[in-house]
């Protein structure tokens, strides 16, 4: 069991890290931080623009720096970007500074949830299913290794998913000050 003051959400694009994360943060009395939104705030432009100017490598450098900074804060729920787990230092920070919850989802659920979302640079183009599958092959083993708790994705709304997460987290997460 990982006793920590922080909750960190990992998982693929469209798993609900931001939507569910806001509800979990409110429930547990934690400050909510969305890593992509932090990047946008610090850069003054959206993630697509960062990708267009600096490429994925530049984006990942910014992501790592802010993940390091944000994960040091006490009492935070951090919703990471889907690819934040790719860098080993990020994995070390997440594992060492918080209780890591993997929000699982299927490719079909991702496609359904992201149907009208065109803000994600790594999903630009017509071959979304193939891109999502390729990302899953690389990232799922990392999510599995890093997670203190895996929450299976099911069809349903954010409220039901949040309640499911809370029930599982309450059963497994030993908060140091609870």
Q: Annotated binding residue at 106?
A: no
Across-strand partners of 101?
Answer: 9, 149
Average pLDDT (50-58) is 90
Q: How far apart are CA 152 and CA 163, in angstroms?
A: 13
For 66-82, write each residue's pLDDT tens digit: 999 999 999 999 999 99
**Annotated binding residue at 68?**
no
Q: Is 97 annotated as a binding residue?
A: no
60 is in an annotated binding site: yes
120 labelled ligand-binding: yes
- 19 carries a ligand binding annotation: yes
- pLDDT of 152-171, one tens digit each? 987 678 898 999 999 999 99
Say if residue 58 carries a ligand binding annotation.
no
Is there a binding annotation on residue 127? no
Q: Which of 25-29, 63-67, 77-81, 108-112 has the lowest mean pLDDT?
A: 108-112
Contact 49, 42 (CB under 8 A): no
Q: Pick one of 3.30.70.260, 3.40.50.880, 1.20.1250.20, 3.40.50.300 as the CATH number of 7-172.
A: 3.40.50.300
Q: Is 120 left (phi over 0), alpha (psi -120 to 50) or beta?
A: beta
pTM for the structure as a whole? 0.90
**Percent above pLDDT 70 for the chain:** 88
If one compares 178 and 95, the residue with the highest pLDDT of the two is 95
Burial class (CB in 10 A: 0-12, 13-18, 19+), 88: exposed
Main-chain phi, psi angles of 105, to 5 degrees:
-160, 165
Rounded CA separation 48/40 (Å):
10
Q: What are phi and psi of 31, to 5 degrees?
A: -75, 135
Q: What is the average pLDDT across 116-125?
A: 60
């Amino acid at each position: 069991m990982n006793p920590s003051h922080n909750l960190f959400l990992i998982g693929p694009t469209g798993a609900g890290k931001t939507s569910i994360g806001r509800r979990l943060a409110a429930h547990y009395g934690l400050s909510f931080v969305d890593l992509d939104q932090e990047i946008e705030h610090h850069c003054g432009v959206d993630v697509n623009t960062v990708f267009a100017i600096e490429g994925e490598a530049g984006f990942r450098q910014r992501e790592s720096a802010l993940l390091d900074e944000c994960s040091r804060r006490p009492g935070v729920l951090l919703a990471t970007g889907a690819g934040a787990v790719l860098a080993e230092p990020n994995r070390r920070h997440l594992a060492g500074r918080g209780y890591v919850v993997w929000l699982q989802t299927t490719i079909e659920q991702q496609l359904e949830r992201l149907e009208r979302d065109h803000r994600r640079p790594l999903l630009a183009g017509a071959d979304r299913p193939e891109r999502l599958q390729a990302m899953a092959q690389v990232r799922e083993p990392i999510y599995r290794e890093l997670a203190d708790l895996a929450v299976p994705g099911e069809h349903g709304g954010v409220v039901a998913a949040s309640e499911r997460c809370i029930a599982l987290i309450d059963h497994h997460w030993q908060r140091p000050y609870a």
